Amino acid sequence: MVSEHQLYWAAGDRLVFPWERDGWQHLYSVPVEGGKASLLTPGDFEVETVALTEDRKEALFSSNQNDIDRRHVWRVSVAAGPAKAVTSGEGLEWAAAPLTNGIAFLRSEAKRPARAAIQIGGAIRDLAPDSIPADFPADSLVTPQQVIYTASDGMPIHGQLFLPPDGQPGKHPALVFMHGGSRRQMLLGWHYMDYYNNAYGMNQYLASQGYVVLSINYRSGIGYGLNFREAINYGPSGASEYHDVEGAGLYLKSRPDVDPAHIGLWGGSYGGYLTALGLARGSDLFAAGVDFHGVHDWTVRNAANAAAPDSPVNDAARQEAARVAFTSSPMASVRTWRSPVLLIHGDDDRNVNFSETVSLAAALRQQGVYFEQLILPDEIHGFLRHQSWLKGYRAAADFFKRKL
């Protein structure tokens, strides 16, 4: 996500643009008359939101440079690097915009959600400190820890570990959270997207209820380079992300503060897909799950594109792709699914067909697997109504309390 703009006309008649030439999304610039493009932001990190300063001589951008599981604001000359850090520390900063004598941006931390701030003369202050209510329970929240664990096929995977507050010793039930997208990255603080801002808050709540929660950045997500995002055999081409889910469960199982018989899964959309896949393939490891509007059969989702009249795919290739897509789906492994699950879906979902949940429920019923459903009438994929989020999260917490 660089921004809605992919080309910036900068000072000195230079064009600034994003490019993944070296496998990481960076900023480059080139004279308008042509010539060699200059790499402005070299290194193993990704550039996101971009804006030019008022004189158009510098670009302000957010990235995870030197802090791969956070976001900070940087600035760089449109003619040549290196970039200089504008913000740093344990918070998150993004979406910078120039001011006459400073910059404005959005920021959050582990315990306080997003709000607008300005930096003038090096000092940062919130524009509206009262935008966070006085009774917001910041002091009751935990600071997630960066964890790098090993997937079951050996790939290193980043995650954020939420531990129950101090004073809750002993072995705890545990949860693995998987974001949607899959082109997303969960961070060590309140997220910049509304859907994942909500999910981060839910993970905080679950930790407060005594769960050890591991939020994972599985392969095919952003933040770790092109090869990680375009991972081999991911999604409908082989479900290689399952190794990351399985590895997360094995990591939690090895922790002395986790009850290995009480590890669950939860997530929405692509995270719902991985929740269902984890339960279908790994009921020995995962004891329960909550699946928000997940994909359950890739062949249903991909059939329209493959059957298009102008599709270059021949029949044999189409049939093989459909076979692999189905074997990469939870529906292909439903016979080994034993763990209870809560299915949550809005029936006006335009991203993931509501029929995905209907079909899975029918298959689980036939297999004798315990499941519950929460159907939200007239609700879309990323719930529009605040009460829908509350209803879904309360149902999820109640389900885990009873079944995990």
Per-residue pLDDT of the chain (404 residues; tens, 9 = 90+): 455 668 999 999 999 999 999 999 999 999 999 999 999 999 999 999 999 999 999 999 999 999 999 999 999 999 987 999 999 999 999 999 999 889 999 999 999 999 999 999 889 999 999 999 999 999 999 999 999 999 999 999 999 999 999 877 789 999 999 999 999 999 999 999 999 999 999 999 999 999 999 999 999 999 999 999 999 999 999 999 999 999 999 999 999 999 999 999 999 999 999 999 999 999 999 999 999 999 999 998 765 454 555 556 678 888 999 999 999 999 999 999 999 999 999 999 999 999 999 999 999 999 999 999 999 999 999 999 999 999 999 999 999 999 99
Same domain membership, residue 168 and residue 255: yes
Same domain membership, residue 268 and residue 229: yes
Residue 3 lies in a domain: no
Domain boundary among 131, 154, 185: 131
Domain boundary among 105, 131, 157: 131
Residue 136 lies in a domain: no
Same domain membership, residue 363 and residue 302: yes
Same domain membership, residue 203 and residue 82: no
Q: How many domains, the chain?
A: 2
Q: Give the CATH number for residue 99.
A: 2.120.10.30
- The pairing of beta strand 172-178 with beta strand 212-217: parallel
Same domain membership, residue 186 and residue 122: no
Residue 1 lies in a domain: no
Residue 309 lies in a domain: yes
Domain that includes residue 96, residue range: 8-131
Domain boundary among 101, 131, 161: 131
Residue 167 lies in a domain: yes
Q: In whole angstroms, how large is the CA radius of gyration of the chain?
A: 22
Using CA of residue 112, residue 116, residue 202, residue 295, what is the dihedral sign?
negative
Same domain membership, residue 192 and residue 159: yes
Distance of CA 289 to CAs 185, 207, 241, Å?
21, 16, 17
Residue 270 lies in a domain: yes
Same domain membership, residue 280 and residue 399: yes
Same domain membership, residue 305 and residue 227: yes
Same domain membership, residue 105 and residue 165: no
Same domain membership, residue 52 and residue 200: no
Q: Give the CATH number for residue 194.
A: 3.40.50.1820
Residue 263 lies in a domain: yes
- The pairing of beta strand 258-268 with beta strand 341-346: unpaired
Residue 208 lies in a domain: yes
Same domain membership, residue 372 and residue 297: yes
Same domain membership, residue 98 and residue 37: yes
